[in-house]
């Protein structure tokens, strides 16, 4: 379990005050079809145990789909099994253990085993698959076990290769067959890679199915954020509040309030994940609060502007960067930065412009990675470019998937306080919308990031 920071870099001396009252989510009814998407076994109970119980109580149809079996939490494995091993079969064994724990946990909340769908894709590998492994004969292979296809016979797609098409097709199959009208999924600001990936795959799947099913309500829930929730351990009498970073952001928050009985069941359901609570109970039990939280960023809509110098474009959709210990290895140099500022977006000249504010003293030590995943209604997503721009100082390179490319028209202008990146929209596949995120660096350690945002191109 990797944790990440969500601290406001440019925060005031006193922490922001939480909202006086967070509105409640809409009630459930017996006509609802509720789908909970969990990147790992235990995420569903951490973020949605109360919601699941309430939906079951209302006699709604409920399903839980797991992106991975969570087999790569080596520390938890050592604590639980009391031995060290790097053998392939042992990792698969841990994935089977975690599957059985989720079955028991969900039974405590009122679900049956046939209400649960396990996909079995690689723990800690699905974001890499989303960004790099499409249209390839060489699927993603896990670092320690060298597994490159779903290894669990009882899962939805046994032996499906670890490529983007496999995951997207499985998610679309679940959506087509169950036809949910309410979906709970991990948050785009959750800085665990698998958690971001499930959100991203869902966005693509829903767009692909827009003509086959009504658009469901999507409620993201946050799990990974260093320093949140506090205090640690078991405090069911306390309310869960948004992390300080997000209190003054564009996000609007909703909550579900748990009854005393629902809290007790959530406690039992979390303790059913013995392989995780033996090493991380102090963290998992901190989510047993009197409420559960849900939120998302609004879409950014960009209207094309006249061809002008980028310095005078009207940038919008600004996102504050926040401290982040990160999980990427593509960092440009050593060191760490603070107070990196904000990132804004604009379109002109059939190009996307990204303005990145930075501290003047950073000079050429500042670097960044920007992810740009475009979606075009007329082109299968598997064929769309999966762009990463990696910059350090005055130099930058562009990758599509795993290949370095040299497209025409990409420029990077910089001065002492900002950088402006220009990317022609045709480089991104002439998208209808873009899913984008950024990490800023003062060296090899990630320092600042923005959550994934959806930018609609008008």
Instruction: Label the pairing between strands 182-186 and 217-221.
Output: parallel
CATH superfamily, domain at 33-296: LmbE-like (3.40.50.10320)
Distance CA 385, CA 48 (A): 34
Write the pLDDT tens digit of every residue in 397-448.
999 999 999 999 999 988 878 889 999 999 999 999 999 999 887 755 455 6
| C-alpha pair distances (Å), 277 with each of 49, 60, 64, 280 | 16, 30, 21, 5
pLDDT at residue 267 is higher than 90: yes
Strand-by-strand arrangement of the 33-38 sheet: 116-121, 61-68, 33-38, 182-186, 217-221
pTM metric for this prediction: 0.91
Q: Give the span between the Cα atoms of 184 and 403, in whole angstroms.
A: 34
How is the chain split into domains, by residue range?
33-296, 300-457
Identical fold for domains 33-296 and 300-457, yes or no, is no
Which tokens belong to 333? 């140099």
Residue 378, class by beta-carbon neighbours within 10 Å (0-12 exposed, 13-18 middle, 19+ buried)?
A: exposed
Average the pLDDT over 204-228 and give the result: 95
Q: Look at residue 252 and tell me whether its pLDDT is greater than 70.
A: yes
What's the CATH architecture for 300-457? Sandwich (2.60)
DSSP letter at 161 equals B
Q: Tokens standing for 290? A: 């009197």
What six digits make up the tokens of 170?
Answer: 């499985």
Does the pLDDT value for residue 10 go beyond 70?
Answer: no
CA-closest candidate to residue 400, choices 136, 188, 198, 203 = 136
Flag whether pLDDT at 367 surpasses 90. no
- Whether 230 has a pLDDT exceeding 90, the answer reads yes
Whether the pLDDT of residue 341 is over 70: the answer is no
3-class secondary-structure state, position 77: helix
Is the CB of residue 19 less than 8 Å from the CB of residue 40? no
What are the pLDDT digits (tens) for 373-396? Answer: 999 999 999 999 999 999 987 789
Residue 337, pLDDT above cutoff 60? no
* Residue 28 pLDDT grade (very low, low, confident, very high; cuts 50, 70, 90): very high
Non-local CB neighbours of 382 within 8 Å, separated by 6+ positions: 134, 135, 164, 165, 168
Query: Residue 234 — left, alpha, or beta (φ > 0 → left; ψ -120 to 50 → alpha)?
Result: beta
pLDDT for 168-185, tens place per residue? 999 999 999 999 999 999
């Amino acid at each position: 379990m990797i944790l990440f920071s969500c601290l406001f870099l440019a925060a005031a001396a006193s922490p922001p005050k939480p909202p006086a009252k967070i509105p409640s989510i809409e009630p459930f009814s017996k006509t609802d079809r509720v789908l909970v998407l969990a990147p790992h076994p235990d995420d569903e109970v951490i973020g949605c145990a109360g919601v699941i119980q309430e939906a079951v109580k209302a006699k709604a149809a409920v399903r839980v789909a797991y992106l991975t079996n969570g087999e790569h939490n080596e520390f938890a494995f050592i604590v639980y099994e009391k031995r060290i091993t790097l053998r392939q079969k042992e990792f698969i064994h841990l994935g089977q253990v975690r599957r059985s724990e989720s079955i028991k946990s969900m039974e405590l909340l009122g679900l049956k085993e046939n209400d649960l769908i396990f996909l079995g894709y690689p723990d800690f590998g699905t974001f890499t698959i989303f960004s790099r492994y499409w249209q390839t004969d060489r699927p993603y292979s896990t670092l320690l076990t060298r597994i490159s296809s779903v290894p669990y016979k009882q899962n939805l797609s046994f032996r499906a290769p670890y490529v983007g098409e496999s995951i997207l097709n499985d998610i679309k199959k679940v959506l087509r067959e169950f036809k949910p009208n309410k979906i709970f999924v991990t948050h785009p600001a959750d800085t665990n890679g698998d958690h971001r990936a499930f959100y991203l795959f869902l966005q693509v799947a829903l767009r692909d199915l827009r003509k086959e099913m009504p658009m469901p309500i999507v409620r993201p829930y946050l799990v990974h954020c260093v320093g949140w929730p506090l205090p640690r351990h078991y405090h069911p009498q306390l309310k869960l509040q948004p992390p300080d970073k997000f209190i003054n952001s564009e996000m609007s928050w909703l909550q579900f309030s748990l009854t005393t009985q629902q809290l007790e069941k959530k406690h039992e359901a979390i303790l059913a994940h013995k392989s995780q609570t033996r090493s991380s109970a102090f963290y998992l039990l901190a989510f047993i609060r009197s409420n559960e939280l849900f939120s998302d960023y609004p879409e950014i809509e960009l209207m094309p502007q006249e061809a002008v110098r980028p310095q005078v474009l009207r940038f919008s959709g600004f996102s504050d960067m926040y401290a982040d210990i990160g999980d990427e290895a593509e960092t440009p140099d050593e060191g760490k930065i603070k107070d990196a500022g904000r990132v804004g977006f604009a379109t002109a000249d059939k190009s996307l412009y990204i303005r990145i504010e930075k501290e003047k003293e950073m000079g050429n030590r500042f670097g960044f990675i920007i992810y740009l995943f475009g979606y075009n209604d007329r082109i299968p997503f598997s064929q769309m470019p999966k762009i990463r721009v990696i910059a350090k100082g005055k130099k930058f390179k562009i990758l599509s998937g795993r290949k370095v490319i040299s497209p025409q028209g990409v420029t990077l202008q910089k001065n002492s306080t900002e950088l402006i990146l220009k990317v022609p929209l045709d480089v991104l596949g002439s998208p209808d919308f873009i899913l984008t995120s950024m990490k800023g660096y003062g060296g090899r350690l990630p320092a600042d990031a923005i959550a994934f945002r959806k930018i609609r191109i008008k």
